[in-house]
Amino acid sequence: MGEEREVLGKIIQILKPMVPEDTEITPETDLATDLSIDSLKSMEILAQIEDTFDISIPINVLAEVRTVEDLATQIKKLI
Amino acid sequence: MNIFDKFDKLVQAGQKLEQEFGAFFQVVMDEILSSTEAVINGKKVILAGTNNYLGLSMDPECIEAACQATRQNGTGTTGSRMANGTFSGHVQLEEALSNFLGCSNTIVFTTGYGANLAVLSSLAGPGDIALLDADCHASIYDGCRMGGAEMFRFKHNNMEDLEKRLSRLQKRKTNILIIIEGLYSMLGDRACIREIVELKEKYGAYLLVDEAHSLGVLGENGRGLAEEAGVSDKVDFITGTFSKSLGATGGFCSSNHQQLEILRYASRPYIFTASPSPSNIASARKALEIIATRPELRTRLWQNTNALYDRLSSLKLNLGPEPTPIIPVRFTDPHEALRVWKGLLAKGVYVNMVLPPATPDGSAFLRCSMSASHTPEQVSTIGDAFEALTSE
């Protein structure tokens, strides 16, 4: 549980500078509709996550990712 | 709930697009007058957005070859290559492509999209890694998805990013297939192929180059980017289409890996599709002969390309990074792109409009593509029209 929270926290830290300052990011936040993350931004975000955790994220898994929590779940599987 | 409900969001987006940009999506070519002119809405226009780089779709020799093949072998093959659909023309075109590209083996497919789908869905399977440039065509993404390989993107033409990924992924000790394009269809820029070849060699990966837009356009003999960069012998697989420089419909994969032949038994999009029609095969073969024997076409194509790129640059328009026959004019506001696109059509110039999310950076493009068949006067008319509409 602690590890999951840590992953979630790091992802939120990476997302924050990519969205308007007053945007609240929770595990339930929808990456596309709530944060308007386009394909260019998403590449940048994924690259930062990969560097942070020293992993490679296959884009195949992104089809299952809608929320911040979904993303954290997939990252946890790759660590 | 009905079966179409899942498209609700897409329907809304489509309606919005139709309302705002319908003029573009409703274009019908009423009559094709030549490879660079057509009639649209009763008006004669210059075609400057058709990827007909050498103008061969209307070449008399190609048309005659297509007509002869139709009279001799019919309008279609009515079967897949595995069954009754292998005609002598298919085999001859495969040999011609192998000879032209200096490869041992070639397989032809019914479309360019189908070529990438067929090759990648069988070549990059479960357990393999497909590492593709982010700006690769949808057919490449779809082929990799269908095959079940793990897919990773690297930032467009960013060698630092590619190497970082290769360095991480090499630990998996599995096959890595790097996939790039000779000329990228959106920005019209070349892949950094020499650097990519160096990295491919360093990390023991395979390399597939989609020369869809570069065949007939780049290289001393028109063989594409790999020839131009002098790295043909380092490329494992070349895919391409007949629907650009060759002026027909179809696709191919060529390789010096003789095991390519196994795809004829392994690739479902190859097995379960009717083979290319006799007319397409015959005109593609004639077009390949023309590419090999009429280098002056490439010279004219590049003269036209440089003339339009220079003219549009002088207007301070935001263009693609380098002059190639794909010249995107970039607009931050899609509605401004639409205004200019409509104005160009009214002035008798047709170009493609590319809207987000299809564009790599969220901007909108008016994508011009040049042809060897454009006359200097037509190139001037295109430039004049852009000038009148963008300096208002």
Contact status of A47 with chain B (Cβ, < 8 Å)? yes
- Looking up residue B203, the CATH number of its domain turns out to be 3.40.640.10
Domain's final residue, options B265, B293, B321: B293
Interval A12-30 mean pLDDT = 89
B11 inside domain: no
Q: What is the gyration radius of the CA atoms in chain A, in angstroms?
A: 11
The C-alpha of A65 sits at a distance from chain B's nearest C-alpha, in angstroms, of 15
Q: Could you tell me if B176 and B166 are in contact, meaning their C-beta atoms sit under 8 angstroms apart?
A: yes
pLDDT at position A25 over 70: yes
Nearest to A59 among B152, B161, B169 (CB): B152
Instruction: Select from B129, B142, B151, B186 the residue whose CB has the most chain A CBs within 10 Å, as the one to mutate to test that interface.
Output: B151
pLDDT at position A1 over 70: no
State which amino acid sits at residue B61: E
Pair B109, B242 in one domain: yes
Q: Do A56 and B169 touch (CB under 8 A)?
A: yes
Q: How far apart are CA B105 and CA B95, in angstroms?
A: 8
State which amino acid sits at residue B59: D
Peptide bond into B357 cis (omega under 30): yes
Contact status of A39 with chain B (Cβ, < 8 Å)? yes
Pair B231, B108 in one domain: yes
Interval A11-24 mean pLDDT = 88
Q: What confidence score (pLDDT) does residue B342 get?
A: 93
- Catalytic residue set of B: 185, 213, 244
Which uninterrupted H or E stretch holds B172?
A: none
User: What residues have CB less than 8 Å from A20, skipping those under 6 apart?
Assistant: none
Pair B300, B288 in one domain: no
Q: B329 forms bridges with which residues in the sheet?
A: B319, B366
Domain's final residue, options B243, B260, B293: B293
> Domains in chain B: how many in total?
2
Closest CA to B213 of B246, B248, B256: B246
Cβ-Cβ contacts under 8 Å, B153 against chain A: 43, 59
- In a structure prediction context, what are the per-residue pLDDT tens digits for chain B, which is 392 residues long? 899 998 998 888 888 878 877 777 789 999 999 999 999 999 999 999 999 999 999 999 999 999 999 999 999 999 999 999 999 999 999 999 999 999 999 999 999 999 999 999 999 999 999 999 999 999 999 999 999 999 999 999 999 999 999 999 999 889 999 999 999 999 999 999 999 999 999 999 999 999 999 999 999 999 999 999 999 999 999 999 999 999 999 999 999 999 999 999 999 999 999 999 999 999 999 999 999 999 999 999 999 999 999 999 999 999 999 999 999 999 999 889 999 999 999 999 999 999 887 776 778 999 999 999 999 999 999 999 999 999 86
Q: Could you tell me if B226 and B102 are in contact, meaning their C-beta atoms sit under 8 angstroms apart?
A: no
Which uninterrupted H or E stretch holds B55?
A: none
Q: Could you tell me if B290 and B57 are in contact, meaning their C-beta atoms sit under 8 angstroms apart?
A: no
Q: Could you tell me if B207 and B196 are in contact, meaning their C-beta atoms sit under 8 angstroms apart?
A: yes
Cβ-Cβ contacts under 8 Å, A57 against chain B: 152
Interval A42-60 mean pLDDT = 90
Range of the domain at A63: 2-78
pLDDT at position A34 over 90: no
Domain's final residue, options B249, B273, B293: B293
- Looking up residue B332, the CATH number of its domain turns out to be 3.90.1150.10
Under the banding of pLDDT at 50, 70 and 90, the label for residue A9 is very high
B5 inside domain: no
Q: What confidence score (pLDDT) does residue B26 get?
A: 83
Q: Could you tell me if B147 and B277 are in contact, meaning their C-beta atoms sit under 8 angstroms apart?
A: no
> Domains in chain A: how many in total?
1
Q: Could you tell me if B47 and B38 are in contact, meaning their C-beta atoms sit under 8 angstroms apart?
A: yes
B367 inside domain: yes
B323 inside domain: yes
Contact status of A33 with chain B (Cβ, < 8 Å)? no
C-alpha dihedral sign at B266, B268, B269, B272: positive
Pair B71, B179 in one domain: yes
- Looking up residue A18, the CATH number of its domain turns out to be 1.10.1200.10
Q: Whose structure tokens read 């573009």?
A: B24
Q: What confidence score (pLDDT) does residue B248 get?
A: 98
Contact status of B126 with chain A (Cβ, < 8 Å)? no
Q: Could you tell me if A11 and A72 are in contact, meaning their C-beta atoms sit under 8 angstroms apart?
A: yes
Closest CA to B151 of B172, B130, B171: B130
Pair B300, B252 in one domain: no
Cβ-Cβ contacts under 8 Å, A43 against chain B: 134, 153, 155
Q: B181 forms bridges with which residues in the sheet?
A: B210
Cβ-Cβ contacts under 8 Å, A77 against chain B: none
Q: How many CB pairs under 8 A join A and B?
A: 31
Pair B287, B307 in one domain: no
From the number of C-beta atoms within 10 Å of its C-beta (0-12, 13-18, 19+), residue B387 rates as: middle
B8 inside domain: no
Cβ-Cβ contacts under 8 Å, A58 against chain B: 150-152
Q: How far apart are CA B18 and CA B244, in angstroms?
A: 27
Pair B136, B36 in one domain: no
Q: What confidence score (pLDDT) does residue B392 get?
A: 62
Q: Do B168 and A59 touch (CB under 8 A)?
A: no
Q: In Å, how far from its chain's centre is CA B293? A: 22
From the number of C-beta atoms within 10 Å of its C-beta (0-12, 13-18, 19+), residue B365 rates as: buried
pLDDT at position A18 over 90: no
Find the residue in B nearest to A48 (Cα).
B161
Share of chain A above pLDDT 90, in %: 43
From the number of C-beta atoms within 10 Å of its C-beta (0-12, 13-18, 19+), residue B310 rates as: exposed
Pair B373, B270 in one domain: no
Range of the domain at B102: 60-293
Is the ipTM higher than 0.90? The answer is no
Nearest to A40 among B150, B165, B362 (CB): B362
Q: How is residue B148 written in tokens?
A: 């079940």
Cβ-Cβ contacts under 8 Å, A56 against chain B: 152, 165, 168-169
Strands, E assignment, B204-275: 206-210, 237-241, 251-255
Task: Please calculate the CA angle B291-B196-A37 and round it to the nearest 5 degrees.
Answer: 105
B327 inside domain: yes
Q: Do B151 and A47 touch (CB under 8 A)?
A: no
Strand order in the sheet with B206-210: B105-109, B251-255, B237-241, B206-210, B176-181, B129-133, B150-154
Question: Residue B241 gets which letter from DSSP?
Answer: E
Pair B39, B105 in one domain: no
Residues for chain B: how many in total? 392
B3 inside domain: no
Instruction: Select from A37, A48, A59, A77 the residue whose CB has the most chain B CBs within 10 Å, as the one to mutate to test that interface.
Output: A59
Strand-strand pairing, B326-331 and B364-369: antiparallel
Find the residue in A nearest to B360 (Cα).
A40
Q: How is residue B150 written in tokens?
A: 């793990």
Nearest to B151 among A40, A55, A59 (CB): A59
B218 inside domain: yes
Q: Could you tell me if B349 and B46 are in contact, meaning their C-beta atoms sit under 8 angstroms apart?
A: yes
Instruction: Select from A39, A57, A79 the residue whose CB has the most chain B CBs within 10 Å, as the one to mutate to test that interface.
Output: A39
Q: What confidence score (pLDDT) does residue B162 get?
A: 97
